[in-house]
Amino acid sequence: MAGTRQTLPADPTHDDARPDPASLGYEEARDELVAIVGRLESGAGTLEESLALWERGEALAARCQEWLDGARERLATARGEERAGAGRDATTDEEVHG
């Protein structure tokens, strides 16, 4: 296969070898983003490859942010439910013992 470049599935510069960022979990997206940052910082590759890596990195960073925003929202909801539940318990105690 002289003259043909073989691409590994983990190569972030080829769209057909990578899952859509929207389908990735937080850890998967973060790990791929870390790998991309490392490749960009090394300075290896062509300008075209660097641009493709940058674009993929932007999509992965956005996916990570979606996960983090969702987690914050879930925590805020859970805290709100805890506070509301604590308030109801205190009222019930006062009514019972009051």
Q: Which domain holds residue 74?
A: 23-87
What's at 63, amino acid-wise? R
Is residue 33, in this structure, part of any structural domain at all?
Answer: yes
Assigned domain for 17 exists: no
Predicted TM-score (pTM) of the model is 0.68
Q: What is the pLDDT of residue 39?
A: 96
Query: What pLDDT, in 10s, does the model give residues 5-31?
Result: 333 334 545 556 889 999 999 999 999
Is 51 a domain residue? Answer: yes
Number of structural domains (the chain) is 1
Q: How far apart are CA 24 and CA 1, in angstroms?
A: 34
> Is residue 56 one of the residues assigned to a domain?
yes
